[in-house]
A and B are shown apart, each in its own frame.
Chain A
Amino acid sequence: GESVGLHLPTLSVQEGDNSIINCAYSNSASDYFIWYKQESGKGPQFIIDIRSNMDKRQGQRVTVLLNKTVKHLSLQIAATQPGDSAVYFCAENLDGYALNFGKGTSLLVTP
């Protein structure tokens, strides 16, 4: 079936480097995407979102890129900090209601 997935289950980066987390989706009808950060023992926390009529959206230290041609989504984190260590999920919006989540990428920031 159609699903949202992630290319890499784990990512290790050095503090200060930029991080890129990738996500592939297969439902061409999805029109809204969200990146979430989940720390241990907490619920997912909203990071940034993007609608399908956009290619790029920037927030504070984060950028989301959407490539509809290849159905690919990425999250870029600039100057990664130890506090960025967490599991990151992309999620797609189906039918304007519930979210379909991928499996997540664990980001580990080393000093």
Chain B
Amino acid sequence: EAGVAQSPRYKIIEKRQSVAFWCNPISGHATLYWYQQILGQGPKLLIQFQNNGVVDDSQLPKDRFSAERLKGVDSTLKIQPAKLEDSAVYLCASSPQGRSYYGYTFGSGTRLTVV
């Protein structure tokens, strides 16, 4: 079974620029999550999708972050404009159903550096 695919693996941008990350979940997984992991900390949930609908985006800084999951499969996370504090690893995860009892699988993440 293929895992959760993310791209790019690394990205360096200047502050105030925009950036987009892409995630392809495991086939058939209805739920998709984006997490932000700052160096030395645990992942923090940004947004959760169930199929193509948003379940929870309470922790997403909506003035600069946006995410979509068209057709309930792939997802993109965008930051515009980026700030220095956005430097982190952005992890995508998916699960077959809404409850994590049924298993989360994480991608390898995109490491963003804002300079």
Interface residues of A (CB under 8 A from B): 4, 32, 34, 41-46, 49, 51, 89, 91, 93, 96-104
In the complex, chain B residues whose CB is within 8 Å of the CB of A102:
42
B interface residues (Cβ-Cβ under 8 A, vs A): 4, 31, 33, 40-45, 48, 55-56, 91, 93, 98-101, 103-109
Tell me the bound Cα distance from A107 to B53 in angstroms.
Answer: 38
10 closest Cβ contacts across the A-B interface? Answer: A101-B42, A43-B106, A96-B99, A98-B45, A44-B106, A43-B108, A89-B42, A101-B43, A93-B100, A43-B107
Instruction: With CB as the reference atom, state the residue of chain A lying closest to B42.
Output: A101
CB atoms of A97 and B48 under 8 A apart? yes
Max chain B C-beta neighbours (<10 A), residue from A41, A89, A98: A98
Q: A43-B107, A43-B109 are known contacts. Are A104 and B42 too (CB-CB below 8 A)? A: yes
28 interchain pairs (CB within 8 A)?
A4-B42, A32-B100, A32-B101, A41-B108, A43-B91, A43-B93, A43-B106, A43-B107, A44-B43, A44-B91, A46-B103, A46-B105, A51-B101, A96-B98, A96-B99, A97-B48, A97-B56, A97-B98, A98-B33, A98-B45, A98-B48, A98-B56, A99-B45, A99-B100, A101-B43, A101-B44, A103-B40, A104-B42
